[in-house]
Copies of this chain bind each other. A is one copy, B any other.
Amino acid sequence: MSHIHRFYSAAISDHMPQIELSDEEAHHAIRVARVRDGEKVSVFDGNGLECTGEFERTGSHSALIRVQESTYHRPSRIQVTLAVGGLHRDKTQESVVRCAAELGAYRVCFWNADHSQRPIKPSSRWHKTAVEACKQCGRFFLPKVDTASSLGEFLEGHNGPSVIALLSEEQTGAPTFAATDRLAVVIGPEGDFSDRERTLAATMGAIPISLGENTYRSEVAAALLMTLVAFKLDELGPGLNLCLQ
């Protein structure tokens, strides 16, 4: 991948001859990235569209891109939603959002767990973090980040199969299931799922999967599951054929 500077703007379309950067993006381009006039850069809308063209500074805090080419990138074969229970620390939430965005999540939903001490407050940092992650890793689809008042609310609103990460003793073989276009991956809160949540998930058809004998922090469980799913979807390249002797 060439390392051209990437900017974000939700409001672009494929027949714009030029795109004005937001104040914030323009400031960053001029003061931090020090992009020069005529340099090739790109703008993406977080929904698959990428416009590349030449950078042009139009003021001390404003800049535009003279578009030369527009490309619609293909979305992932499956929209994967990562649903994480009861995370309260800002840094941890942002870490999950960043990691999920890098690994191509379609949506991140923080749900209030029975074992949560207080409700999760939506943060304006989530969107910002997702944009930064997409810019940095070269993805063109920005995950939506939202909250659900409970696991039940999340599962009811999710239209498609879901897997739920439980401890190893609860696994009943490697689940085989078909995913057509969307999949939810549910990760429990720090204090684990409540009995009510387990029963609810089972009733609502969530498929239990195990991550082995160890207990992972939410960020690591998220990275791990997103990796396994991306690997299954052939989105990580051919991976490695490790033969054990």
**B-facing mask of A1-35, CB < 8 A → 1, else 0?**
10000000000000000000000000000000000
Docked complex Cα distance between A20 and B209 (Å) = 39
State which of B138, B175, B230, B243 has its C-beta within 8 Å of the C-beta of A215: B138
What is the CB-to-nearest-CB distance from A189 to chain B, in angstroms, rounded to a whole number? 14
Docked complex Cα distance between A209 and B242 (Å) = 11
* A163 proximity list for chain B (CB < 8 A): 240
Check B212–A235 contact: CB distance below 8 A: yes
What is the CB-to-nearest-CB distance from A138 to chain B, in angstroms, rounded to a whole number? 5
Which of A171, A211, A214 neighbours the largest number of chain B CB atoms within 10 Å of its CB? Answer: A214
How many protomers of this protein does the assembly include? 2
**B-facing mask of A204-245, CB < 8 A → 1, else 0?**
000101111111110110011001111111011111111111
Docked complex Cα distance between A123 and B215 (Å) = 26
Closest to A139 in B: B214
* A175 proximity list for chain B (CB < 8 A): 240-241
* A238 proximity list for chain B (CB < 8 A): 171, 173-174, 209-210
Docked complex Cα distance between A136 and B215 (Å) = 7
Check A233–B244 contact: CB distance below 8 A: yes
What is the CB-to-nearest-CB distance from A168 to chain B, in angstroms, rounded to a whole number? 6
Docked complex Cα distance between A139 and B216 (Å) = 10
User: Assuming A99-B219, A138-B214, A179-B242, what are 7 further A-B pairs, CB within 8 angstroms?
Assistant: A99-B223, A102-B220, A174-B241, A209-B239, A210-B237, A212-B236, A232-B240
